Amino acid sequence: MSITTKVILIMFCSMVFISGCKTTEPMYYYGDYSKAVYSYFKADETSVSQQIIILEEIIVQASGKGKPVAPGVHAHLGMLYFESGNQEQGINHSEQEKVLFPESVAYIDFLIKNTSGMNI
């Protein structure tokens, strides 16, 4: 193999390697969702109303970025609204989760039934 052929081969392999390292953007917008879930389960200083504000902001940011909200955001927000005593908003966000992610219908219906005392 000539030096020119080796150089071309090395350049080609380098280009293939570099192009294979390209990352893809997530399909959904998550924002600080993982932090919100962590703070909920850790039960730290973040109140339920503060968590609601964080999740509402994630929904607004997703809309501004033109991306769909990540799975679970509306369900978690609905759960927080139920916990705060706002049944109507709890149901609204739970229903929104079902619309966006039909595979979650059975689970969300279970949560609504057990959280709100409704018969579905």
Judge whether 116 and 82 are in contact, CB under 8 Å: yes
In a domain, 98, yes or no: yes
In a domain, 73, yes or no: yes
Query: How far is the C-alpha of 18 from the C-alpha of 35, rounded, in Å?
Result: 32
- Mean pLDDT, range 14-36, rounded to an integer: 75
In a domain, 10, yes or no: no
In a domain, 2, yes or no: no
**What CATH number should be reported for the domain holding residue 72?**
1.25.40
Residue numbers of the domain that contains 85: 27-116
The number of distinct structural domains making up the chain is 1
pLDDT > 90: what percent of the chain?
52
pTM score, whole prediction: 0.75
39 vs 60 pLDDT, higher one: 60
For 78-105, the pLDDT digits (tens) are: 999 999 999 999 999 999 999 999 999 9
Dihedral sign for Cα atoms in the order 46, 83, 62, 24 = positive
In a domain, 16, yes or no: no
In a domain, 60, yes or no: yes
At 20, the pLDDT band (50, 70, 90 cuts) reads: low
In a domain, 19, yes or no: no
In a domain, 112, yes or no: yes
End-to-end CA distance of the chain: 74
- Mean pLDDT, range 66-87, rounded to an integer: 93
22 vs 46 pLDDT, higher one: 46
The pLDDT assigned to 85 comes to 92
12 vs 54 pLDDT, higher one: 54
